[in-house]
Amino acid sequence: MNPLAEELNGVLAGTVAERLLSDMGRRMYFPRGIITQGAEASEHAYRFNATIGMAYEHGQPMMLDALRKELPGLTPTEAVAYASTTGVPALRKVWKEALYKKNPSLDKKNISLPVVVPGLTAAVSYICDLFVEPGDTVIVPDLHWPNYRLIIEERKMAAGITYPLFSGDGYNVEALLDGVRQAGQRRGKAIIILNFPNNPTGYSLTLEEADRITAGLLAIAREGTDILAITDDAYFGLQYEDNLLCESMFARLANLHPNILAVKADGPTKEDYVWGFRMGFVTFGGCDLRDEQYEALTKKLAGIIRSSVSSSCSLSQNLLLKALTYEGYEAQKTAYRAILEGRYKAMKRKLTGMALPKGLKPLPFNSGYFMSFSCEGFSAEALRKKLLYEMGIGTVSLLDRYLRVAFSSVEEDDIGELCEAIARAAAECMTSAAGNR
């Protein structure tokens, strides 16, 4: 093992983070090579800096006029230079400050400085690189973002263990906790992914459900199970009903017990309406973890970034930094959020007031971008194709039992027409399925 990796492992020794590391996580380190030497030169090379492979002219990176014309608000360094492996330092600082503002329960809790990664997919994938290995089980609900399975089962060759997301009209808290207990009994550790608002259902926890999950995980940790809680907060802040948890579960778990390590995956993709920026953040939170231990985790994550994509896009990072410090930023976000809430309420009203075919049942939803229908007695894929090829309406089928509808991308005035078309197509699918029996 590389001495730098051994050094980082020594810093983490005796912590839940060290116990949870995968074999790759133990071997990973950030090399003291070109990047480190370049950073050192940037600070001390006052005559010439001949380290990083960029072309300079008059003290600034070369930048084509065609790009200068389209990006007049950015300097060449902001627009085309490499970003640091862990991200633009000013952006990381601003994002951390925002985490405390958006999650008041984090007050006085010590968390790491967020690390920039190229999107939420990369965030979840890199976290799994650090902590998941063959033979592990990762506990996710049956209704989950399909990319989890690709990351967990194919990239990491671990087992994705599912449980029913809903019990009645609420979250199936006991099934989640049962999965954690069973994983702990088998391997002494449990890995869970908590995604709220949920993709594909658009469901967020009630405050009571969040309390029960927190208390349940605490009880299991006290019994000796090490728990890695990955909070996928891609749709953060988009709750549309009262009595819902509007913070991340990360805020509740970050300093809960020495046997729990919380890792937050979030970013501006959905909450700041910059889907194509391909930017995410990874933040660590553990009970009694010291700054030097967070730095060790950051260096291991930096090694994963360096060995895969080298660094994230500096252009996106600097544009986001300017947006986050823009005077009208919060007002614009509030306005867009209100539009999404209006579409959500239109969907709720329409579904509540209309007669749906017996086999088409809306699953509980209260937030986010989506809602889903369960399809009983007929194929969700058949419904998707009918909607697409006969009515020109795009939806997503999952497991051939569920149909996901993104109300976020449909104008509020068109929601009623959309729901009626889905109901009509579902009724035809049910009639066709019954005739084929």
291-330 pLDDT, tens digit each: 999 999 999 999 999 999 999 999 999 999 999 999 999 9
pLDDT (tens digit, 9 = 90+) per residue, 170-211? 999 999 999 999 999 998 999 999 999 999 999 999 999 999
Predicted local distance difference test score (pLDDT) of residue 55: 86
Predicted local distance difference test score (pLDDT) of residue 436: 72
Distance CA 146, CA 144 (A): 6
* DSSP 8-state assignment for residue 361: E
Same domain, 319 and 413: no
Whether 339 is covered by a domain: the verdict is: yes
Given 292, 324, 356, the domain boundary residue is 324
Whether 255 is covered by a domain: the verdict is: yes
Distance CA 437, CA 435 (A): 6
Whether 78 is covered by a domain: the verdict is: no
Distance CA 70, CA 122 (A): 28
Task: Please identify which residue in the block is written with the tokens 């501006």.
Answer: 268
Same domain, 302 and 412: no
Same domain, 159 and 305: yes
Distance CA 386, CA 353 (A): 24
Stretches where the chain sits below pLDDT 50 are: none
Q: 378 with 387: CB under 8 angstroms?
A: no
Return the CATH number at 403: 3.90.1150.10
Whether 75 is covered by a domain: the verdict is: no
Same domain, 174 and 235: yes
Predicted local distance difference test score (pLDDT) of residue 229: 98
For the residues of 250-311, what is the DSSP string, one character each? HHHHTTS-TTEEEEEEE-HHHHTT-GGG--EEEEEEETT--HHHHHHHHHHHHHHHHTTTSS
Given 324, 358, 377, the domain boundary residue is 324
Structure tokens at 195: 């995604």
Whether 202 is covered by a domain: the verdict is: yes
Same domain, 100 and 238: yes
Same domain, 411 and 274: no
Same domain, 318 and 407: no
Same domain, 125 and 176: yes
Tally of structural domains, the chain = 2
Predicted local distance difference test score (pLDDT) of residue 53: 83
Q: What is the pTM of this model?
A: 0.94
Q: What share of the chain is helix, strand, coil (3-state, %, to 5)?
A: 50, 15, 35
Structure tokens at 362: 């809306």
82, 3, 80, 76: which is closest to 35 by C-alpha? 82
Distance CA 404, CA 381 (A): 11
Same domain, 377 and 289: no
Same domain, 188 and 303: yes
Given 273, 302, 324, the domain boundary residue is 324
Whether 259 is covered by a domain: the verdict is: yes
Predicted local distance difference test score (pLDDT) of residue 435: 72
Predicted local distance difference test score (pLDDT) of residue 44: 73
Predicted local distance difference test score (pLDDT) of residue 331: 95
Same domain, 351 and 209: no
Per the structure, the complete domain to which residue 357 belongs is given by: 329-435
Q: 170 with 207: CB under 8 angstroms?
A: no
Predicted local distance difference test score (pLDDT) of residue 34: 63
Q: Give SS3 for 402.
A: strand
* DSSP 8-state assignment for residue 356: P
Whether 209 is covered by a domain: the verdict is: yes
Predicted local distance difference test score (pLDDT) of residue 323: 94
Q: Is the peptide bond before 134 cis (omega within 30 degrees of 0)?
A: no
Same domain, 380 and 404: yes
Q: Over the Cα atoms of the chain, what is R_g?
A: 24
Return the CATH number at 306: 3.40.640.10
Predicted local distance difference test score (pLDDT) of residue 57: 85
Whether 208 is covered by a domain: the verdict is: yes
